[in-house]
Amino acid sequence: MTDIRKPLSRRVVDVLTRIELGFAGVMLLVILVLVFTQAAQRYTSFEGVAWTGEISRFGLAWMTFSVAGVLITLRGHIALEVVDTLPAPRLIRVVQVASLVIVAIIAIGLTMEAWGLVQTQGALRSPVLGMPMSWVYIPVLTGMVSTIIRSLFAAFMIAKHGPILPAAELTPDIVEDHA
């Protein structure tokens, strides 16, 4: 029986992906429960819990930005998939690499802004919970760092090994790179 194991780098990426998706899943569940709680509070005589809206809003931002990098790895980001169907592997490679580099550049800008907010917003507190606002931007920062790393790595791999083609479109005419 042969032991076929993934390389260490792939296992690390898989673990990080699971952690990021797990966090996003928890945030989605928190948002769902808190929004239902808010809806129920409207129709009961109980006093409302003010922090439910605040955590719901923060949770939406945390969920959105925390999985941005995962979308790169799973090819779930916005892409020019029309180009993937062209019978020109070099063009496909250039477009895929360029789109990933553009994503990385934008993520670098967002990372710099998130880092600035983490450093400068500690004195401000959220209105209801009194949580330091710098904490609100930590998941945004980690999500954007993940996006930078994953998009640059994917761009490097595509530049080195060729474009990633849709599974349904794998035909010998498309796969061949006439160098």
Residue 3 lies in a domain: no
pLDDT of residue 2: 60
The ranges of the chain with pLDDT < 50 are 169-172, 174-175, 179
Assess if residue 125 is contained within a domain.
yes
pLDDT at 166: 67
**Residue 1 covered by a domain:** no
Is the residue at 129 inside a domain? yes
Q: Residue 105: inside a domain, yes or no? A: yes
Residue where the block lists tokens 């998706």 = 21
pLDDT at 169 (0 to 100) = 46
Residue 170, pLDDT score = 46
17 assigned to some structural domain: yes
Answer yes or no: is 72 within a domain: yes
2 domain-assigned: no
**Residue 69 belongs to what domain range?**
8-175
Question: What domain count does the chain have?
Answer: 1
Q: What is the 3-state secondary structure (H, E, C) of the chain?
A: CCCCCCCHHHHHHHHHHHHHHHHHHHHHHHHHHHHHHHHHHHCCCCCCCCHHHHHHHHHHHHHHHHCHHHHHHCCCCCCCCCHHHCCCHHHHHHHHHHHHHHHHHHHHHHHHHHHHHHHHCCCCECCCCCCEHHHHCHHHHHHHHHHHHHHHHHHHHHHHHCCCCCHHHCCHHHHCCCC
- pLDDT (0 to 100) of residue 177: 52
